[in-house]
Amino acid sequence: MPLRDFAKPLDEETKRDLKDYFKDRDYMVIAVAEKEPIRVYVVKATNSVKEAQMIHALSPMLAAITGRVMCGALLLSSLIKHATNQKLLLRLETEGPVKSIAAEVDGFGNVRCMVSAQNVPFKVRHEGDRKKLDIGGVVGSGRLVVVKDLGMKEPYVGVVPLVSGEIGEDIAYYLYKSEQIPSAVAVGVLVGNDGMVAHAGGYLVQPLGGASPKAVEAMEERVRKMPSVTSLLSEGKRPEDIASMLLEGMGPHLLSLKEVKYYCPCSKKVVESVVMALPDEEIERIFKEHEILEVSCNFCGKRYSFTEEEIRRLRRGGSA
């Protein structure tokens, strides 16, 4: 059940079936207001961010930043067609220790990430009597890059400077400046006392053309008063619950649910093309120093090995 679209409100039996199916899965919901052109995307990506933390051996701070980028990419998949091979890549580039974090998502809800940083400082900030991870303080200045591959000759690339480093606000700025869509974006990752990701998710709210000023004002006030995404997820709230909270009093209508998962489509066949693009001198140098040529996927960590004889066969037009 990777994608479900709904033309009418759900009956109670369908709601129970969906709740059971998505109980322990990552997924995203799309909902709209009944009488106002306002749409909401909400994603729970806890499992996917946990997997990224394990694959890339991320520290708690780096996992929190990477998770926000992943959740942001999933929300931005609203800009590509669902259930297609169109892809969107969100890349955070900073002048500080974070360096570069990229998350790629396709129209089926598959997400993967690549992280260049290894160690980042652990910083917290105080909000009243609460302590929160100081994401913006660690990220610092830099830029956000969005690459949309819509299957055309050239991908669309949008670049904006970071306005806060908190990721959610930066994505909202991108949507306003590059897509001309006023939006409210919240992304969050909660790291447990054991240093592992406990909850991850986010939401995107967009008043579309024709929304009344009263409705827009009400949504702005609603977003300001919303608890953090991770606190809602830790209370057991589901994406559809959060969507209903955001659209409370506006007749929330659930349009679709889509499963989300960490998935990397790399394979030895794909890597062969990368190896074949290497200059002959580089391949010769590698085999002078090593018995095998090894390539590691930056997204999932899988390693692919080639012997010198395999490379020769590839060069002759055969297969490894």
With respect to CATH, is domain 268-315 assigned 3.40.50.720? no
Domain 10-262 and domain 268-315 have a common topology? no
> In terms of pTM, does the model score above 0.85?
yes
DSSP letter string, 10-22: PPHHHHHHHHHHT
CATH 3.55.30.10 fits 10-262, yes or no: yes
- Which pLDDT belongs to residue 129? 78
Confidence tier at 2 by pLDDT (50, 70, 90): very low
Query: Which of 32-36, 70-74, 94-98, 287-291 is the most confident on average?
Result: 70-74
Q: Which residue ranges make up each domain of the chain? A: 10-262, 268-315
Q: What is the pLDDT of residues 306-315, one digit of tens each?
A: 999 999 898 8
Whether 205 and 219 have beta carbons less than 8 Å apart is answered as yes
Q: State pLDDT tens for residues 189-224.
A: 999 999 999 999 999 999 998 999 999 999 999 999
